[in-house]
Amino acid sequence: MDRKLWSDARDEHLLLDGFALASGEALTIRGARGVVLFVEHGEVSVTRERGRRDIVVAGRQWLWLDRGGKAIVQARRDAAVTLTASTDTPIPDIQTPGGRARRGHPYLRALLAWWLRLYRRRQGSPHRRFIAHL
């Protein structure tokens, strides 16, 4: 299954990208409505507030969290997860095993931010073909 991202780069917030969870570690998402969980590899179980059962998500699969409240994502074996959310939903509070959200290397984040700014500027430009060839 392909990675589930929103239709346009401007329509999403990348909350966590490729976040590594060791077996047994868990992260907590408060205000989870509208969050898409993509499991890059490994296997996680998702427990949602007021949910009757856990949902197991294996590698290369995604799950859309359609309820508000708290969701707990626990690794059943070593896993890497990506969390995205639509821009029209509030950004949830994410508690990771280390106590705060790790967002990747600062240079990589800066490069991605630069590329997105370039992409957004070119959307209104007659030179849209530049982006199509990247």
pLDDT, average across residues 99-126: 66
Query: Are both 19 and 36 inside the same structural domain?
Result: yes
Please indicate, yes or no, whether the overall pTM of this predicted structure exceeds 0.75.
Answer: no
Place of tokens 């499991």: 39
State the chain's mean pLDDT as an integer: 79
Q: Are 58 and 109 part of one and the same domain?
A: no
In a domain, 109, yes or no: yes
| pLDDT tens digits, 10-53 | 567 788 888 899 999 999 999 889 899 999 999 999 999 988 89
Are the CB atoms for 26 and 47 separated by under 8 Å? no
Residue given tokens 């280390």 in the structure block:
98
Q: What pLDDT shows up at residue 123? A: 65
Task: Report the percent of the chain where pLDDT is more than 70.
Answer: 75
11 or 85: which leads in pLDDT: 85
Looking at the structure, tell me whether residues 92 and 123 fall in a common domain: no
5 contacts: CB under 8 Å, gap ≥ 6: 12, 36, 38, 84
CATH of the domain at 26: 2.60.120.10
Domain carrying residue 126: 104-134
Tell whether the model's pLDDT for residue 77 goes beyond 90: yes
105 versus 119: which is more confidently predicted?
Answer: 119
Domains identified in the chain, total number: 2
Spatial separation of the C-alpha atoms in residues 125 and 77, rounded to whole Å:
47
Query: Is position 4 within any domain?
Result: no
